[in-house]
Amino acid sequence: METLFVTDWTRLFSPRMAHVRASEIRELLKLLDQPDIISFAGGIPDPALFPLDRVQAAYAQALADNGQAALQYSVSEGLPALRGWIAARMTAAGAPCGIDNILITAGSQQALDLIGKLFLAPGDTVLVERPTYMGALGAFNAYEPRYAALDLGAAAPSGARLAYVVPDFANPSGRTWPRREREALLERAEDGDLVIVEDGAYRELGFGGAAEPALIALDVARSGGIEAARTLYCGTFSKTLSPALRLGWVCGPRAVIDRLVLLKQGGDLHASTINQMVAAQVVSEGYEAHLEQLRSAYRAKSEAMQAALARHMPLGVSWSRPQGGMFVWVSLPEGFDGAQLLEACLAEERVAFVPGAPFYAVEPDRASLRLSYSLPSAEDIDEGIRRLGRAIAARMGGAVMAKAG
C-alpha cells in the first residue's frame, strides 16, 4: 500500500489558533436528533413562529419589483432602507441616531467578531459575566484576549479594554440587569476607559412589564449623544424573524461604525442584498403584532417550565425566573457536575440540556445547567423536567427528599 504523508497542519497554523477550540459538549449534543429525546438544549427560535408567509411574499416582491438589484452586490454598511428602520427603532428606544450609526452584519455573531477584530490585541482583557454567552467567547478567542469576571463593585483591572454583557433576558442565565447595575457599569466603563458591548439578542422578547432602558440609551443620556457614547449595541433579526436571514446590526458612534464597515468589507463585502430587502419589507408592517405573538408564545412556554420545575425539582435545586427570552439557568447542589449529569440523562432518561461550565470564561461553576424552553411543547416540557428531576434526585442520596407532587 502507498504511504500517505499527512502534513502536520498544526505546525503551520497561526498562534491565534491555540485559543480556538471546539466545545467539548458538541459531541454529546450531536445525539439530540434522536426522536425519543426531549431536548432543552437547543436555544433556537421555535420555527412554528417564523413569519413564513410574509417572508415568502417579501422575496417574491423583491424579485418582481427590483430583481436585478436584489441579486446584485450592495454596499458594505447595508441597505439604507433597513438601516433607516433600525436607526428609527434605536431612536425610539432612547438612543437617537441616524443611518450612519448603523452597520448591518451577518447576524450579531459577526458583529461580535468584527468588534473583537477592531478592539482586541493579544493579551487584552475582556470583562464578561459569569456565566456568559459562549458564542461571544468563540468570536473573541481568535483575537487572543484574557478574560476576567465583570465586577461592578471594583475598578476594572488594568489591561481591560472591553466589557461584554447581555443585559436583557440573557443567554444563558435568563437574567435581566436592574437599572442600578446598568448605571454602575457605565460608571465603571467611564473610569476604566472601557468599550461596552451590549448584546441585545433577546431584548425584543420581554414577556411584559416595564423594560429596563438599554445600556446604550442610558449612555447616550449621560454622555450627551450617540457620538460621545462608549456603548456598542448589537441587535439581531435572528430571534424575531429568522436566524437563516443572517441579519444583525451594530449601533454606535460613527467613528466606530466607519472602521467596522472597513472590516466588514474585508470579511465578506456585505450582508445578503435580497435578505436585507426582505427584512426591510417584513418589518415595515405588522411587526409589533408579530413581536406580541412571539412574546406570548415564549411566555406560555416559560410559564410551563416554571410550573414543571416547581413540581418536579428536588429540594436543593434552584433556578432563574426569566422575564423574557428563551432560557432558565439551574443551580444544582454542590458536588454535581452538569456534564456528567447530561451523560447520565441522555443514557437513562432521554432528556437533554447544556451543562453550565462552557458558559464560563473564568472559574466555571460545574453544578449548573442551561435549559431552553423555546422548542418543546408544554407537555414535553413537563415530561422532560420530570425526568430531569428524577435523575437529579437519584444522585442526591437519601439525605434530601424529593418534593412530593
Ligand X SMILES: Cc1ncc(COP(=O)(O)O)c(C=O)c1O
Is position 78 an interface residue for ligand X (rule: CB under 6 A)? Answer: no
* Grid cell listed for 19: 485559543
Please pick, from the candidates 39, 74, 141, 171, the single residue that binds ligand X as defined by CB under 6 A. 171
Q: Interaction with ligand X in 284-313: which residues (CB under 6 A)?
A: none
Total residues contacting ligand X by CB under 6 A comes to: 14
Is position 374 an interface residue for ligand X (rule: CB under 6 A)? Answer: no
CA distance 291 to 280: 15
Please pick, from the candidates 109, 231, 242, 276, the single residue that binds ligand X as defined by CB under 6 A. 109
Please pick, from the candidates 135, 167, 252, 338, the single residue that binds ligand X as defined by CB under 6 A. 135
Is position 173 an interface residue for ligand X (rule: CB under 6 A)? Answer: no
Please pick, from the candidates 40, 85, 133, 373, the single residue that binds ligand X as defined by CB under 6 A. 133
Q: Which is nearer to ligand X, 298 or 336 (CB)?
A: 298
- Binding pattern to ligand X, positions 324-343, x when CB under 6 A? --------------------
CA distance 251 to 169: 20
Is position 275 an interface residue for ligand X (rule: CB under 6 A)? Answer: no
* Grid cell listed for 309: 420545575
Tell me the window of 25-33, 236-244, 259-267, 290-298 that interacts with ligand X (CB under 6 A). Answer: 236-244
Q: Interaction with ligand X in 191-210: which residues (CB under 6 A)?
A: 199, 201
How many angstroms separate the Cα of 35 from the Cα of each of 31, 46, 84, 293, 340? Answer: 10, 17, 44, 28, 22
* Grid cell listed for 107: 447576524
Beta strands 354-355; 38-39: pairing state: unpaired
* Least distance in angstroms from the C-beta of 49 to ligand X: 15
Q: Which is nearer to ligand X, 202 or 336 (CB)?
A: 202
For residue 352, the SS3 value is strand
262-279 as b/e, with b when 16 or more CB fall inside 10 Å? ebbeeeeebbbbbbbbbb
Please pick, from the candidates 62, 126, 128, 166, the single residue that binds ligand X as defined by CB under 6 A. 166
Is position 236 an interface residue for ligand X (rule: CB under 6 A)? Answer: yes
Q: Interaction with ligand X in 14-43: which residues (CB under 6 A)?
A: 43
How many angstroms separate the Cα of 38 from the Cα of each of 32, 314, 390? Answer: 8, 20, 14
For residue 8, the SS3 value is coil
DSSP labels, 142-160: TT--EEEE--TTSPPPTTE
* Grid cell listed for 67: 430583481
Q: Which is nearer to ligand X, 44 or 228 (CB)?
A: 44
Binding site for ligand X (CB under 6 A): 43, 107-109, 133, 135, 166, 171, 199, 201, 236, 238, 243, 248
